[in-house]
Amino acid sequence: MTPKDETASFVLRFTQKIFEDEQGESHVQWRGHIRHVQGGEEQRFSEFGEVVDFIQSQLAKLTIQAMQDKSSTEQESILSKSFDLWKRMSATYPKMILDTIKDPKSQLKSVQDQIQDQVSQVSEAIGQGLDPNAWKPASKADFQELMTTLSALNNKLQQLDQKVDALSQGQD
């Protein structure tokens, strides 16, 4: 079976605001806007974690659509590989953002390469070694179990993201 390639493109726009507080001290605030090109969904953000959540949500939708006719074991394996991207990003995105602000061109290429690598791995997992004769239609119970698992994974990822944020803020 030939793997089916899915594309997910995102447009990020950052706006920098420099302002002074009541004490006359200068501050900088980054805000932004992200758009999923294929689906048209958009979101404004002031924290990069919101960008990661948005991208995760859009890619999870694609992954779920691609797995609809897979067994629960295959779905679990694919989801596990898919969420590896988010584990890595939650551990590295604060440094990545600072590096991006310092040298946007080189960091953009690095982020694109990381995301493309993960998308390729998930695509390979979806199309690799699957026996079409073993496929069965997903039942409502299967779908509910998948949604429960995704929700639990999302909660764990949010907890990890909060811990990373707390650690990052402690280093400032």
Q: Where are the alpha helices (DSSP H) in the chain?
A: 48-66, 72-102, 104-127, 140-171
CA dihedral sign, ordered 74, 110, 43, 45: positive
- Among the listed residues 54, 39, 66, 55, the one whose alpha carbon sits nearest the alpha carbon of residue 122: 66
State the pTM of this model: 0.46
Give the residue extent of every domain in the chain: 48-171
Find the helix or strand (DSSP H, E) in which 11 lies. Answer: strand 10-20
pLDDT tens profile 71-105: 878 777 777 777 676 667 666 666 666 666 666 66
- Among the listed residues 68, 77, 78, the one whose alpha carbon sits nearest the alpha carbon of residue 136: 68
> In which band, very low, low, confident or very high, does the pLDDT at 129 lie, cut at 50, 70 and 90?
low
